[in-house]
Amino acid sequence: MTSADELVIRTAELLAAHDPAATEPLEFLRARFDAGLAWVHFPPGLGGLGAPRALQAVVDAELAAAGAPDNDPRRIGIGLGMAAPTILRYGTEEQKRRFLRPLWTGEEVWCQLFSEPGAGSDLAALATRAVRDGDGPDAGWTVDGQKVWTSSAHLARWAILLARTDPDVPKHQGISYFVCDMTDPGVDVRPLRQLTGEAEFNEVFLTGVRIPDAHRLGAVGEGWRIAQTTLNNERVAIGGQRTPREGGLIGILAETWRRNPELRTHELHQRLLQGWTDAEVLRLTGERLRQQLAVGQPGPEGAAAKLAFARLAQELTGLEVELLAEQGLAYGDWTMSRPELVDFTGRDAGYRYLRAKGNSIEGGSSEILRNIIAERVLGLPAEPRSDKDVPWKESAR
């Protein structure tokens, strides 16, 4: 097994061969991937060394100290957090080699085509169809349907896509998982303006989109099971992030409190202390999750951390607007823009307050996460479902 010392040596070798000050950032990132220092827990040849996940921090610290460029993980979060672990687990060797390197370096942005207007929390009810065209070596699929809430679709080169390949079986069984080329002429991306004023999300219309069979991930009809990997990784990606004390929203709020004694009231003080404590508990919970993952005991805390994060973000951002008093009434800019980043902490307090409302909806609503915890962790029975064993085409929608 690769040790921390060995990683320090390999990182030093990378830096010696590719001086960050004299190397194009993209060239450096490609060299880092090829040296197995991109995500050290991935296999050799795919950007990793099969090392313990916890040792990534060693590499990151060495590279940061040397002023090396990073891959701007916030811009490519869906690729890193969701597409990559799914491709690693279910992709063919060819798919892994084609997709993972440019995904990690940020050359190719990814988005996720899962939700639909009629399939939100009930994702398995999705209606986008993929129909097989032919049987020969050039066989592929033709996709028609509509997807929504697609972050980064306007920037993405590729999408992970769920589509219905068999309407004659119950809804969970007839779904397959594809990699969709976002440059296909049948893909139409339209901005979806949010209550913040900007259009971070999109709606995506798919009309006769061609997907070669080589871009199917896993077996036909296995899409739902594979999607669980994607969704679990999404929640771990949010909940397992390492943050320092007072990182994120609580840091902004605490600084505002310290700098503005005239804004302080006793009632706000009580809520600030409660929020600070909640933020610290959540940070420790995430830290514990990270430690569990590092020694190979992944727990269900991923869904929990996401649920707790949403609750806290809404509590803190609401408090911040109140604390700011007159300034809390202001809002910087309602102009519709299409940002490149998903941003929970940027802009002003009013934006943060409004953006946080999405935290309990995106990536699995808080209600669905509570169902997941209650059913899969606590072992409580599911609500009776009328559509579970009915062929999808006959189910009430």
Partner 1 sequence: MTELDLLYSEVEEDLRSAVRALLADRCPPQAVLTRCEGPEPQDTGLWRTLAQELGVVALQVPEALGGAGASLRETAVVLEELGRACAPVPFLGSAVLATTVLLAAGELAAGEWPALCAGDRTAALAVPLSTAPDAPFPLGVRADAAGALTGAVTSVADVPGAGLLIVPADGPAGPGLYAVDGADVTVTARGSLDLTRPLVDLRLDGAPGRLLVGPDQAEAVLWEALLTGAGLLASEQLGLAEWCLATTVAYLRERRQFGRVVGSFQALKHRLADLWLDIAGARAAARAAADALATGSADAAVLVAVAASHCGAVAVRAAEEAVQLHGGIGMTWEHPVHLYLKRAKADQLALGTPGRHRASLATLATLPAPGGPLPRMPHV
Among 27, 138, 168, 375, binds partner 1 (CB under 8 A): 375
- Residue 148: what residue type? V
Task: Classify strands 201-212 and 110-113 as parallel, antiparallel or unpaired.
Answer: unpaired
Q: Examine residue 254 and tell whether it contacts partner 1 (CB under 8 A).
A: yes
Q: How far apart are CA 242 and CA 59, in angstroms?
A: 15
Among 273, 330, 336, 341, binds partner 1 (CB under 8 A): 273
Q: Examine residue 288 and tell whether it contacts partner 1 (CB under 8 A).
A: yes
β partners of residue 206: 145, 187
Q: Examine residue 260 and tell whether it contacts partner 1 (CB under 8 A).
A: no
Among 5, 136, 383, 396, binds partner 1 (CB under 8 A): 383
Q: Examine residue 284 and tell whether it contacts partner 1 (CB under 8 A).
A: yes
Q: How far apart are the first and last CA of the chain?
A: 52
- Check residue 145 and report its DSSP letter: E
Q: Examine residue 89 and tell whether it contacts partner 1 (CB under 8 A).
A: no
Scan residues 109-138 and list those touching partner 1 (CB under 8 A): none
**DSSP string across 139-195:** -EEEEEEEE---TTTTT-SEEEEEEES-TTSBGGGSEEEEEEETTSTTEEEEEE--T
Of 175, 106, 107, nearest to 141 (Cα)?
A: 175
**Within the chain, what is the greatest distance between any pair of CA atoms?**
74
Q: What's the chain's Rg over C-alpha atoms?
A: 22
Q: Examine residue 378 and tell whether it contacts partner 1 (CB under 8 A).
A: yes
Among 24, 34, 138, 280, binds partner 1 (CB under 8 A): 280
Q: How far apart are CA 115 and CA 363, in angstroms?
A: 10
- Residue 204: what residue type? V
Nearer to partner 1, 162 or 253 (CB): 253
Scan residues 351-370 and list those touching partner 1 (CB under 8 A): 367, 369-370
Q: Examine residue 261 and tell whether it contacts partner 1 (CB under 8 A).
A: yes
Nearer to partner 1, 131 or 295 (CB): 295
Q: How far apart are CA 67 and CA 97, in angstroms?
A: 28
Q: Examine residue 277 and tell whether it contacts partner 1 (CB under 8 A).
A: yes
Q: Examine residue 374 and tell whether it contacts partner 1 (CB under 8 A).
A: yes
Q: Examine residue 373 and tell whether it contacts partner 1 (CB under 8 A).
A: yes
Q: Examine residue 72 and tell whether it contacts partner 1 (CB under 8 A).
A: no
As to burial, measured by CB atoms within 10 angstroms (0-12 exposed, 13-18 middle, 19+ buried), residue 358 is buried
Q: How far apart are CA 243 and CA 269, in angstroms?
A: 24
Residue among 62, 203, 234, 301 flagged as catalytic: 234
Q: How far apart are CA 341 and CA 300, in angstroms?
A: 28
CB of 365 to partner 1, least distance (A): 11
Q: Examine residue 325 and tell whether it contacts partner 1 (CB under 8 A).
A: no
CB of 17 to partner 1, least distance (A): 31
CB of 78 to partner 1, least distance (A): 25
Would you say 226 and 86 are in contact if contact means Cβ atoms under 8 Å apart?
A: yes
**DSSP string across 31-75:** HHHHTT-SSTTSPBTTTB-S--GGGHHHHHHHHHHTT-----TTT
Q: Is 234 an annotated catalytic residue? A: yes
Nearer to partner 1, 295 or 330 (CB): 295
Q: Examine residue 326 and tell whether it contacts partner 1 (CB under 8 A).
A: no
Among 189, 227, 307, 321, binds partner 1 (CB under 8 A): 307
Enzyme catalytic residues:
234
Q: Which spans of this chain sit near partner 1 (rule: CB under 8 A)?
A: 245, 254, 257-258, 261, 264-266, 269-270, 272-274, 276-278, 280-282, 284-285, 287-288, 291-292, 295, 301, 304, 307-308, 367, 369-371, 373-375, 377-384
